[in-house]
Structure 1
C-alpha cells in the first residue's frame, strides 16, 4: 500500500521523522557494538595471537549470524511489527558480545560473535519495514539513507570511542561498555517507538504457510536475486576496507595506530554522508531510480581500490585521507540504495522478508571476502593483491548490474 495522505499533516510529518530517529538510534548502537570488532581487530589479534585470516573471520562470523537471522527476522517483522523486535535484537547482540569477552579461546569467541550476529542481522529487515510504512516512495531513499547512515556512524564512533578505551583498559572492557549502552537503548526504543498504523499486523494460524509462499515467490524474483548478488560483492568490498584499512595503514604505511584508526573514522564518516547523499540523489535527480546509482558507486569503488593497490610504502597520511574518503563515500554509501531496491521490488507487506532474503545473500560476501583478503596478505606478504581482489570483485558486480538494468528495460518494453 502507498503512503497515507493523513501523514502529510504537520503532526504526521513530526511523527514519522520521530520514528525514524528511534530506528536510527538503535541502528547506530547496533553498529557501534557489532562493527566495533573492526577497529579492535588489531588489539584482539595481538591479545589472542591471531593471523590476518583469523582477524578477518571476526566480521565474517558476525555476518554469518546476520545471514542466519535475516530471513526469519524478515518473516517475524512482517507479522509482529518492528517495536518488539528492536528490543529483542538489542538483547541478543549485547548479551552475546558481553559473553565473548569472558572467553580466551578464539573458536569459542567466534561462536558468541555468530550468535550476536543474529541480533545484528535482524536490525536491517526490522528497521527497513518501518521505513517502508512510515515514508512514501519519493521519501524512502532519503529516509533509508539516514537510517543506514547509522551503520557507518556507529562504526566510526567505535573507532573514535572504543579504540582509545581498549588501548587504555583492554578490548574486553570496551566491548562490555558498548554492549550495555546498546541494551539500554533497546529498552528505551521499546517504550518510545511505534509502528505505523498503515502497517498490517497478522497473527493468524497460517503464518508458516504464508512464509513458504512468500519465499517461493521471492526466490523466483530475478531482479531481487540480481540486486542481492550485486550487494554480495559490494558488501564484501566494504568489509574488506573496514577490516584491513587500519592494519594496512599501520603495517605497510608505518602510520601510528591512532592515526590509522582515524582513517577508518574518515572512511565511515564519508560513508555516512554517502548513504544520505546517494539516497537524495536517487530521489531528486533520478526520480527514485536506484540501479544507475549503484553502478556509479561500483565504478568509483573499483577505481579507488585499484589506487590503494599501487600506493608505495610510507605513503603520507595526507595522501591516504582523500583516497580513503572517496572509497568510503562510495563503497560504504551504497547500503541505503540497496535496502530500498530490495524492499521496493515486492509488495509492501513483503518488505521485511524481501530485505531479509537479500541481506542473507549479500552477507555471503562479508563472510567470504575478508578472510580471503587476509589469506592473500598472509601468503604474499603484500596488501596489493588484496586490493586488486576487491577490484576484480567489483568488476563482476558491474556486469551483474548491467544484466539487471537490461532485464528491467526489457520488462518495461514488454509492458508497454
Structure 2
C-alpha cells in the first residue's frame, strides 16, 4: 500500500490542479470529434479520413501511457504533467497556425495525444501521494470527474468557435488551454513526499507484477469498461432509432445522465473511504452492472419505459467503478510503481473501450439490441470473479 501522508491544506490545491490538467487533456482528446463537420466541409475530407484524424490522439495516448507512468515514478509528477501537457498544447497550436496536409495533421494529433497521456498517470499519482487512505477514494473520485468536465468544455466551446472562425481557430482553444494549465502546474504543484523504497533485487523496489493481484485488477477493470461503452456508444442511436426520440431530446437526456455519473464517481470514492476498501465496492458494482444490463435487455424486449429507466441506471453504475480500480492499482503497486500501474490500468481500459463499439455493433446488426445488452452483461459477471478482493488484506 502507498504510505500515509501528513494532511496538508495544499493537497486541495494539488487536487484542483490535477483535475484541471486532466480536464484540459480531455477537452482535446474528446473534443476533436466536435470539429469533424467543419473539418470535412473546409478540407473536403471523407468520413473515413476524418475518422482517422479523430482516432489519432487516442492511438498516441494508448502507446505511451505506461511510459509516462514510469517517468512520473522516476522524475516526479509536476515535471511530467507540465512537460506533457505543455508539449501537447504547443503541437495543437502549431496545427492551428500552420497550413498542414492531412498526413501531417494526423501525425501532429498522434504526437499531441502521446504527449497529453502524461497527465493520466501523473495527475492520479500526485493526488494519491497527497491524500491519506481515509480520504483518497473521495479525492480520486473528484479527479475522475475531469473527463465529463473536459468533454463539457469542448462541447460548449469548439462548435461555436469552428462555425464562426473555422476549425483551425477552434483548435487553438484546447491548445492554449493546455499551455495555460501546464504553466499553472509547473508554478503551483508540489510533488508529494516520497517514502523510502523497500529495496529488492539489485537495490530496486521489487515489481508488484510478480504476484497476480494487479494483473487480475487490470483485467477486471477492462471488463467493466464494456458495459460503460455499450451504453455511451449505443444509447443515443437506440433512443432515436428504436424509441423514436428526437436527436436533441436524446442528447439532453444523456448529458444529464453524464452529470449523474460524475456524481456517482465521487460517491463511490467516499463509500470506499468509509468501508476501508476499494475492491469490495468494485466487486459489488460489478454485480450491479451485470444486473442492470440484463434489465436494459429485458426492457427492450418488454417495456420501453423500463428500458429507459434501466439505461439511466446502467449509465450511472457502469462509470462508478472507474476511480476505484484506478486507486486500487496505485495502492496495490506501492509508491515506486504507482505511475506504471495506473498507466497499465488506463491502457487496458482504453483497449476495451476501443473494442466494445465495433464488436457489439456486429451483435446488434439491424435491431438486436436486447441480445447485445445481454452480451455486455457477461463482462461484469467475469469481473466479479476476477476482482482480487483478498489482495487488499494481504
Q: SS in structure 1 opposite 2:22?
A: helix
**Which of 114, 120, 125 matches 1:124?**
120
Separation in 1, partners of 2:250, 2:214: 37
**Which of 325, 336, 345 matches 1:338?**
325
Matched, 1:327 2:314: yes
When residues 171 and 31 of structure 1 are mapped into structure 2, their CA distance, relative to the original with a 3 A threshold, is: same
Matched, 1:138 2:134: yes
Matched with 1:295 is 283
Following superposition of structure 1 onto structure 2, how do residues 166-205 of structure 1 map, counting pairs within 5 Å? 166=162, 173-198=169-194
Matched, 1:33 2:28: yes
Matched with 1:69 is 64
Matched with 1:234 is 224
CA contact (8 A) 1:16 1:135 kept: yes
Following superposition of structure 1 onto structure 2, how do residues 18-29 of structure 1 map, counting pairs within 5 Å? 18-29=13-24
Matched with 2:263 is 273
Normalised by the length of structure 1, the TM-score is 0.77
Separation in 2, partners of 1:369, 1:44: 26
Matched with 1:206 is none
When residues 36 and 132 of structure 1 are mapped into structure 2, their CA distance, relative to the original with a 3 A threshold, is: same
Matched with 1:283 is 273
Matched with 1:262 is 252
Larger mean Cα displacement after TM superposition, 34-43 or 217-226: 34-43
Q: Report how far residue 393 of structure 1 moved.
A: 4.0
CA contact (8 A) 1:295 1:398 kept: no
Q: SS in structure 2 opposite 1:345?
A: helix
Separation in 1, partners of 2:33, 2:127: 28
Larger mean Cα displacement after TM superposition, 20-29 or 302-311: 302-311
Superimposed CA distance per residue, residues 185-209 of structure 1 (whole angstroms, 9 cap, x where no aligned partner): 22222111111234679xxxxxxx8
CA contact (8 A) 1:141 1:336 kept: yes
Separation in 2, partners of 1:141, 1:264: 26
Q: SS in structure 2 opposite 1:354?
A: helix
Separation in 1, partners of 2:247, 2:279: 38
Q: SS in structure 1 opposite 2:192?
A: coil
Larger mean Cα displacement after TM superposition, 357-366 or 337-346: 357-366
**Which of 80, 85, 88 matches 1:85?**
80
Matched with 2:211 is 221
RMSD: 3.8
Q: Report how far residue 112 of structure 1 moved.
A: 4.2
CA contact (8 A) 2:91 2:108 kept: yes
Q: Report how far residue 375 of structure 1 moved.
A: 5.4
Normalised by the length of structure 2, the TM-score is 0.81
**Which of 339, 347, 357 matches 2:334?**
347
Separation in 1, partners of 2:18, 2:196: 19
CA contact (8 A) 2:66 2:340 kept: yes
Q: Report how far residue 142 of structure 1 moved.
A: 0.7
The answer for unaligned runs of 5 or more in structure 1 is 202-208
Q: Report how far residue 161 of structure 1 moved.
A: 4.0
When residues 125 and 85 of structure 1 are mapped into structure 2, their CA distance, relative to the original with a 3 A threshold, is: same
Superimposed CA distance per residue, residues 47-100 of structure 1 (whole angstroms, 9 cap, x where no aligned partner): 74426x985x77765443233212111111111111111222213433455567
Superimposed CA distance per residue, residues 268-306 of structure 1 (whole angstroms, 9 cap, x where no aligned partner): 21221111101001111x22x122322333344344445
Separation in 2, partners of 1:163, 1:246: 19
Separation in 2, partners of 1:248, 1:100: 36
> How many aligned residue pairs are there?
384
Separation in 2, partners of 1:306, 1:54: 35
